[in-house]
Amino acid sequence: MTGFLTAGIVRTALEVGLIYSLVALSLFISYSILNICDLSTDGCYTLGCAVGAIVTIAGHPFLAIPAAMLAGICSGYVTALLQTKFGVQSILAGIIVNTGLYTVNLAVMGFSSNVSIFGTDTIFSLFKNLNSSGFWKDWCNLILLAVIVAAVCLLIKWFLGTTLGLSIRATGDSPAMVRASSINPIFTITVGLCFSNALTGLAGCLIGQYNKTCDINLGTGMVTIALASLVIGETLLGRGKMIFRILGMVVGSCFYRFIISIALRLNVPTEAFKLVSAVIVAIAIAAPRAKQLIAFKHKQMTAMQERKSMRGDKANA
Amino acid sequence: MLKIEHVFKTFNTGTVNEKKALTDLNLELQDGDFATIIGSNGAGKSTMFNAIAGSFYTDSGFIELDGEDITFTPEHTRSRYIGRLFQDPLMGTAPHMTIEENLSVAYLRASEHKRGLFSHVSKSERDKFREQLSLLDMGLENRMNHPVGLLSGGQRQALTLLMATMVTPKLLLLDEHTAALDPSTAAKVLDLTKKIIEENHISCLMVTHNMNQALELGNRTLMMNNGNIVFDVKGEERSHMTIKDLLDKFEENAGKALNNDRILLSTKEGV
Ligand SMILES: Nc1ncnc2c1ncn2[C@@H]1O[C@H](COP(=O)(O)OP(=O)(O)O)[C@@H](O)[C@H]1O
Ligand SMILES: [Mg+2]
CB-CB neighbors (< 8 A) of B55 in chain A: 179
Model confidence pLDDT, tens digit, residues A143-153? 999 999 999 99
Sign of CA dihedral B65, B67, B73, B74: negative
Q: One-letter amino acid identity for B264?
A: L
Q: So what's the pLDDT on residue B271?
A: 43
- CA B18–ligand 1 middle distance (angstroms): 11
CB contact under 8 A, A180 and B115: no
Q: So what's the pLDDT on residue A179?
A: 82
Q: What values do phi and psi take at B205, rounded to 5?
A: -115, 130
CA A162 to chain B, closest CA, distance in angstroms equals 5
Alpha helices in chain B (DSSP H): 45-53, 75-78, 99-111, 123-136, 153-165, 183-200, 211-216, 235-239, 243-254, 261-269
- 3-state secondary structure (DSSP) of residue A226: helix
> Mean pLDDT in runs of 10 for chain A (317 residues)?
77 96 97 95 97 96 98 98 95 96 97 93 94 91 97 97 94 90 93 98 98 94 89 84 94 91 82 73 79 91 88 72
What distances in angstroms separate CA B136 from CA B131, B153, B186, B196, one per listed residue? Answer: 9, 14, 13, 10
> Mean pLDDT in runs of 10 for chain B (271 residues)?
96 93 95 94 94 95 95 93 92 94 87 72 91 92 94 95 93 94 92 94 94 91 93 91 88 78 60 43
CB-CB neighbors (< 8 A) of A195 in chain B: none
Task: Name B37's bridge partners.
Answer: B207, B222
Q: Do residues B149 and B93 make contact, with C-beta atoms less than 8 angstroms apart?
A: no
| Strand-pair category, B68-69 with B60-65 | antiparallel
Q: What values do phi and psi take at A182, rounded to 5?
A: -90, 25
Class of domain A7-267: mainly alpha
DSSP tally for chain A: helices H, then strands E: 12, 2
Domain boundaries, given as residue ranges, for chain A: 7-267, 276-317
CB contact under 8 A, B97 and A167: no
Nearest CA in chain A to B115: A163
Q: So what's the pLDDT on residue A312?
A: 76
Under the phi-then-psi rule, with left for phi > 0, alpha for psi from -120 to 50, and beta for the rest, what region is B61? left
CATH of B2-92+170-270, one of 3.40.50.11240, 3.40.50.300, 3.40.50.10480, 3.60.15.10: 3.40.50.300
Q: Do residues A70 and A52 make contact, with C-beta atoms less than 8 angstroms apart?
A: no
- CA A244–ligand 2 middle distance (angstroms): 41
CA distance B109 to A172: 19
Q: So what's the pLDDT on residue B32?
A: 92
| Strand-pair category, B171-175 with A213-215 | unpaired
Alpha helices in B112-152 (DSSP H): 123-136
CA distance A54 to A51: 5
pTM of the model: 0.90
